[in-house]
Structure 1
Amino acid sequence: MPVNANKGDRRGSTAKRTWAGGIAAAVLAAGAGLTFVAPAANAEPSNYRFDFSGGSVEQGYTGVSATDAYSPGKRYGFNTPEHMANVPAKGTGAGSDAVRFLEYGTKSTNTFNVDLKEGLYKVTVTLGDTARASVAAEGVFQVMNMTGNGATDSFEIPVTDGQLNLLVTEGKAGTAFTLSSLEIEKVSRHPAMDPTIWVGGDSTVANYYPLESSVQGGWGQLLPQYADPAAFDIRNMATGGQIARGFRNDGQLEAILTYIKPGDLFLLEMGINDTAAKNATTEAEFKEIMRDMVRQVAATGATPVLVTPQGRATDFVDGVHSAVDRWYRHSTVALAQEENVPLVDLNVLSSAYFTEIGPEATLALFMTGDTLHPNRAGAGELARLVAGDLARQGLLPGAA
């Protein structure tokens, strides 16, 4: 179950009870000789369902063409429709067509704008035909690298300036950035996000799509299975191929710093790609970049947690799995001690588990022909180990 599902329903029920109670009070007041004024017919909506389409519109949705410019009367539309295009899509219903964003970048003005009252909103996006694309809103990333046609994901976002500005942007240069449908649901009238676990990392941590049934998995994707949704939301900002410098400089850390707050956790695992010669990151450089990120997050009052990457499936010698010298692990461990921040030594934890189950069972937790990337089952085991160690350190209450 998505980590936000129960919480969103609970908030929605509260809102409905509050609204119903207000109506009942108004009716009683009318009976006492006071005047009851019904909400205006043109009151600003809190919930929307948009079908981006150049043709037929799915029932229950509001159709939006690439040519629809924003207007205050309509309260929604594209800021630069001249930079949009209607395109077909291979899905069904609202997913049978889409719009394509012809400009990209999180700071682009090529956005779909929706007027919204101040509050916290759950936003669900469904892409069209897209190899890999990211979703940005309010000038920062919200969802990283959605892959495959018709991919769907959700995020919660506070709106404080009266308008949501959203776009689909590049996850991989040269690919199409398309949007089939968008659903917006008001979660709370208070624009405050719940306690959140923010996750940074590489392809062994990232999300894969469809989220609920992907063959490959990242432990950040599976972490919600082991966390209490009443205690934390989870936002996974990890991406495949990422290095520490890229995570810090190219927008992922910026997005986290925009929203992170006291009581939140930031889990950061890097090192696998940093050690590759093509990325030209020395171990000393890696350590100082990681230190900078740790300090920036700590300055917000949130808690940074360093995580070491697991080794390869084949790191067995005489039946014992060990990868303690991989992926700049020693620098990550030293950094945690120097900055006095928590450490989840997933490298050692996973090796102990792999030794326990043996080489054959370990290999079965990785993608076929791949000794580095876990499959969905393997990602689940890594997530279990991360959650268990966070719980042991008192950082994750109610962990499964």
Structure 2
Amino acid sequence: MNQFLALFFLVCASAVPAQTFVCDKSQPGATTLTPASIYSQAAPGFDLNTAPEVTPGSCSSDKPFFFSIALPEGSYRISVTLGGAQPSTTTVWAEARRLMLEKIAIQANGSVKRQFDVNVRVPSIAGDPSHTVHLKPREIGNLDWDNKLTLEFNGDHPAFRELRIEPVHETTIYLAGDSTVVDQDVEPWAAWGQMLPRFFRSGVVVANHAESGETIRSFVGEQRFAKVMSLIQPRDYLFIQFAHNDQKPNAVPLDDYKKLLVDYIEKTRAKGATPVLVTSMNRRTFDADGKITDSLAGYPDAMRAVAAQQHAALIDLNTMSKTLFEAMGPEGTLKAFMHYPANSFPNQTEAINDNTHFNKYGAYELARCVVHGIRRDKLSLRKSLSKDVPDFNPAVPDPVDDFSLPATPIPPKAENVTKIPQT
């Protein structure tokens, strides 16, 4: 019955017609956007109390702005023509800060066309409103779990001329993990899962179901694994990374951890999909010689053993992160982890000194490690990786002074950004 319902809702999403939006001009078959085009459940438009300047042929602003459209659960291809009257550098985030396009520079009066794919999801499982993911308070109303697709245009005079949205059915990478993988929705927090979409061309979509505070067991208990299993199709992938919370007292003993990993693998394979185990990255724990010490209590070794026994693909992010963090050094890693003095961001009244979680730079570098692992393991996904990013050597991190991504506006509900966003 659940398989039938999942297929039914997949067909519903596929039946959604393609929609095209243009800025203040008439075009056959397209919806014209004006300054009055404000989002509602009944009408697509500009959202979250933002609106660009709309002129014939361009929607642009000197501030970030959002566009939303109500859509059923599924995956969608976004074809966007960027550009405006002024020189612009546009970064596009989707949903709860998933990086889609990175700093696309365009000359004044120029145009650049790009495509990317976005996954939209809702809490109900297989369309059954009585069977849902057990959302945490912070997830309720989150852009990852609503009934709409939201795009954020950010950067230096972000601008677009035309936007086309159409349903697609394609290879999906599902992510299961914790706060080091999740779509962190509030600046300055970030995780590698929300950076991963940037590294793929259209034809592959990332569905990040990771959530802060999760263990491999609670991910099942909160019906998150059931949600993924209700959606996953043959030729899809499930990337699995757990350890940071599993190792805590009275959480998940190693033997249970290994049994649950095997269960994830078997159930994913039964769906015709490919499980990929990802060992958890290290924490920022250095010894006196500048070497990373093991703070994960044998859980990465347990995952390596299960991968070998089950002949499952393994991305050894734990080993790569050790190389990466040691190359950055104790001082350099301060700029990759969550270390900020008080008042660095709105609503940040206290200093942040966190050796587990990452800012955008740290998350981006870890995503590059994961992409390197995809290439090294020769997963078929490597054929869909973006061609504008060369392979990555964790021993040679990107210079932090050369890195920047525009900041998403911090929502008013984020009363204290120093708090680890878990509840």
TM-score by length of 2: 0.54
Q: Who is 2:245 aligned against?
A: 273
Deviation sequence 1:15-44 (CA, Å, 0-9, x none):
xxxxxxxx9xxxxxxxxxxxxxxxxxxxxx
| Structure in which a larger fraction of residues adopt helix | 1
Letter in 1 for 2:254: E
Q: Who is 2:197 aligned against?
A: 224
User: 2:341 aligned with 1:388, yes or no?
Assistant: no
Q: Contact 2:134 / 2:222 at 8 angstroms: preserved in 1? A: no
Q: Who is 1:299 aligned against?
A: 270
Using a 3 Å threshold, how does the CA distance of structure 1 residues 363 and 145 change in structure 2: closer, same or farther? closer
Q: Who is 1:310 aligned against?
A: 281
Q: Distance in 2 between matches of 1:123 and 1:301?
A: 24
More deviation, 326-335/282-291: 326-335
User: 2:163 aligned with 1:187, yes or no?
Assistant: no
Q: Distance in 2 between matches of 1:370 and 1:222?
A: 20
Q: Distance in 1 between matches of 2:216 and 2:296?
A: 18
Q: Distance in 2 between matches of 1:123 and 1:157?
A: 15
Q: 1:92: Cα distance to partner?
A: 2.1
Which residues of structure 1 form unaligned runs of 5+? 1-7, 15-22, 24-45, 50-57, 65-75, 77-89, 95-113, 125-142, 147-152
Using a 3 Å threshold, how does the CA distance of structure 1 residues 324 and 308 change in structure 2: closer, same or farther? farther
Q: 1:242: Cα distance to partner?
A: 0.2
Using a 3 Å threshold, how does the CA distance of structure 1 residues 63 and 187 change in structure 2: closer, same or farther? closer
Q: Distance in 1 between matches of 2:203 and 2:178?
A: 25
Using a 3 Å threshold, how does the CA distance of structure 1 residues 170 and 291 change in structure 2: closer, same or farther? closer
Q: Contact 1:272 / 1:327 at 8 angstroms: preserved in 2? A: no
Q: Contact 1:324 / 1:348 at 8 angstroms: preserved in 2? A: no
Q: Contact 1:145 / 1:239 at 8 angstroms: preserved in 2? A: no
Q: Distance in 2 between matches of 1:269 and 1:175?
A: 20
Q: Distance in 1 between matches of 2:212 and 2:236?
A: 24
Q: Who is 2:217 aligned against?
A: 245
Deviation sequence 1:235-285 (CA, Å, 0-9, x none):
111001001111123221112112212221111000110111142x21101
Q: Contact 2:285 / 2:293 at 8 angstroms: preserved in 1? A: no
User: 2:306 aligned with 1:335, yes or no?
Assistant: yes
Q: Distance in 1 between matches of 2:71 and 2:285?
A: 53
Q: Secondary structure at the match of 1:198?
A: strand
Residues paired across the two proteins, number: 273
Using a 3 Å threshold, how does the CA distance of structure 1 residues 340 and 144 change in structure 2: closer, same or farther? farther
Q: Who is 2:49 aligned against?
A: 92
Q: Distance in 1 between matches of 2:249 and 2:364?
A: 30
User: 2:188 aligned with 1:215, yes or no?
Assistant: yes
Q: Distance in 2 between matches of 1:379 and 1:331?
A: 24
Q: Contact 1:217 / 1:379 at 8 angstroms: preserved in 2? A: yes
Quick one: percent identity of the two aligned structures? 26
Q: Contact 2:19 / 2:165 at 8 angstroms: preserved in 1? A: no
Q: 1:225: Cα distance to partner?
A: 2.2
Letter in 2 for 1:352: T
Q: Who is 1:233 aligned against?
A: 205
Q: Secondary structure at the match of 1:216?
A: coil
Q: Distance in 1 between matches of 2:317 and 2:295?
A: 10
Q: 1:231: Cα distance to partner?
A: 3.8
Q: Who is 1:397 aligned against?
A: 383
Q: 1:155: Cα distance to partner?
A: 2.8
Q: Who is 1:344 aligned against?
A: 315
User: 2:177 aligned with 1:201, yes or no?
Assistant: yes
Using a 3 Å threshold, how does the CA distance of structure 1 residues 93 and 349 change in structure 2: closer, same or farther? closer
Q: Who is 1:171 aligned against?
A: 135
Q: 1:362: Cα distance to partner?
A: 1.7
Q: 1:62: Cα distance to partner?
A: 5.4
Q: Distance in 2 between matches of 1:229 and 1:235?
A: 15
Deviation sequence 1:115-173 (CA, Å, 0-9, x none):
98xx966499xxxxxxxxxxxxxxxxxx8999xxxxxx963479xxxx99899986324
Letter in 2 for 1:305: V
Match of 1:323 among 283, 289, 294: 294
Letter in 2 for 1:302: A
Q: Distance in 2 between matches of 1:325 and 1:60?
A: 48
Q: Distance in 1 between matches of 2:180 and 2:238?
A: 17
Q: Who is 1:34 aligned against?
A: none
Match of 1:285 among 245, 250, 256: 256
Note the aligned Cα RMSD (angstroms). Answer: 4.5
Which residues of structure 2 form unaligned runs of 5+? 1-13, 21-27, 52-69, 79-94, 99-116, 151-163, 340-352, 390-423
Q: Distance in 1 between matches of 2:138 and 2:333?
A: 37
Deviation sequence 1:173-198 (CA, Å, 0-9, x none):
4996589984698624xxx6211111
Q: Contact 1:217 / 1:376 at 8 angstroms: preserved in 2? A: yes
Q: 1:208: Cα distance to partner?
A: 1.3
Query: Which has the higher relative contact order, 1 or 2, with Cα contacts under 8 A spaced 6 or more apart?
Result: 2
Q: 1:327: Cα distance to partner?
A: 5.6
Using a 3 Å threshold, how does the CA distance of structure 1 residues 303 and 181 change in structure 2: closer, same or farther? closer
Q: Secondary structure at the match of 1:301?
A: coil
Q: Distance in 2 between matches of 1:373 and 1:278?
A: 22
Q: Contact 1:157 / 1:193 at 8 angstroms: preserved in 2? A: no
Q: Secondary structure at the match of 1:243?
A: coil
Q: Secondary structure at the match of 1:370?
A: strand
Q: Secondary structure at the match of 1:277?
A: coil
Q: Contact 1:218 / 1:374 at 8 angstroms: preserved in 2? A: yes
Q: Distance in 2 between matches of 1:299 and 1:168?
A: 22
Q: Who is 1:67 aligned against?
A: none
Using a 3 Å threshold, how does the CA distance of structure 1 residues 308 and 172 change in structure 2: closer, same or farther? same
TM-score by length of 1: 0.57
Q: Contact 1:144 / 1:238 at 8 angstroms: preserved in 2? A: no
Q: Distance in 2 between matches of 1:357 and 1:121?
A: 37
Letter in 2 for 1:92: N
